[in-house]
Amino acid sequence: MALRHDQEEHRRQASAIFQAWGMPPEKADQTSRVLTWADLHGIESHGIAMIVEYNERRSNRPINFQSDPYIVRETPVSALMDGDGGLGHYTATKAMELAVHKAQAAGVGLVSVRNSGHFGALGYFTSMAADAGLIGIAATSVFGIRVPPTGGAKARFGTDPWSFAAPGAAGEPFVLDMATTTVASGKVRNKLVEGQPLPEGWGFDSSGRPTTDPSTVMNGGFLSPLGGTAESGGHKGYGLAVMVNILASCLSGSTLITDPMHSRQPKGLDVGHFFMAFDPGLFREAADFRADVARLCNDLRATPPVDPSAPVLVAGDPERSKRAAREADGIPMGPGLLARLRTIADGCGAAWHLSPATQSASVNAS
């Protein structure tokens, strides 16, 4: 069961906590917009629940809540940005805005970011490109090391996600946002917060044995790589994770995830990002490209389903469905997360916007 509340209340609560931590209002508002976008689209692993993890990190890791991102070097089609040791939501927004601007002017824009932090759901940023009629690609390194390379007995990677978005029919872009693990670590964290077991196949204990205990996974265990074992294709998730780290860390000069001691001694967490936007009009009429993307997606949706009650979808469809429902009915929040957020808000003196008076009756979480 979960309580629901309006997305603006949701955003205001997140912003209030970030401002109480010392983040300037403009940056706090944009950071909270990214988190709210994730929750609105059903991506709870990267929504307001991340505040619980950010609160833990700020107590033992350097995070600059008054960061001021800046450009280190730039060409007409590229830029390297420095996130100044802060969380990445505001920095990543500025980076993709710059990539889109360069793509609109020159056909392609690439922006690499160093010295940043976690920035929420990648789909938020690639959607910015798709909304501008461009193809968007994004990837990011991560801070948490929870995944071994195929055949390895020690964790060397994180969830290492990437995203691809392309404009198609109006309001229906193709938006793929995926971790290179079976699930994002945030989904495991959310199960832990709500006291729920994991589905089988999500994680392993420290000895590599399958477990459904989220605490075991989050405290010394491993996340399952995309594909699972070597026999079932785990090397594919492993290869994608390496690709992501080459784009996000090696291009930007960020700390390698295989260097957990941070020998480069960055100012903050030194997470690296990669953003790319390019114009399909470089190759053909943009309208014809969008029409073909729309037809391809519609052809896939028209595939006869195995279960008539579960039609075939394409990337972006489930999130749009969630958004429509949550715009109408509110964003659900489990009681465990609500209690933790209240504790965090009280602890830092942030205003509380999610009072029972502003919440609807308990309903099943969508």
What's the pLDDT at 366? 41
Mean pLDDT of all residues in 248-273: 80
Mean pLDDT of all residues in 172-201: 87
Torsion of CA 306, 311, 317, 323, to 10 degrees: -120
Six-digit token string for 57: 């990190």
The residue with tokens 């070097």 is: 73
Using the predicted structure, report yes or no on whether residue 328 has a pLDDT greater than 50. yes
Six-digit token string for 77: 């089609």
**Beta bridge pairs of residue 81:** 71, 113
Nearest to 266 by CA among 284, 242, 249, 280: 249
**How far is residue 160's CA from residue 29's CA, in Å, rounded to a whole number?**
26
Using the predicted structure, report yes or no on whether residue 109 has a pLDDT greater than 60. yes
Task: Kindly report the number of other CB atoms within 10 A of residue 205's CB atom.
Answer: 15
Using one digit for the tens of pLDDT, what is the confidence trace for 123-170? 999 999 999 999 999 999 987 788 888 777 788 888 899 999 999 999
What's the pLDDT at 1? 63
What's the pLDDT at 177? 96
Is the separation of the CB atoms in 253 and 266 below 8 Å? no
What's the pLDDT at 362? 38
Nearest to 180 by CA among 238, 258, 261: 238
Question: Mind spelling out the 3-state secondary structure of 252-284?
Answer: CCCCCCCCCCCCCCCCCCCEEEEEEEECHHHCC
What's the pLDDT at 261? 57
Six-digit token string for 44: 């709870």
Residue type, 163: S
Mean pLDDT of all residues in 287-307: 98
Main-chain dihedrals φ then ψ at residue 275, nearest 5 degrees: -130, 140
Integer Rg of the chain from CA: 20
Using one digit for the tens of pLDDT, what is the confidence trace for 330-365? 999 988 899 999 999 999 999 999 866 444 443 333
Please tell me the pTM assigned to this model. 0.89
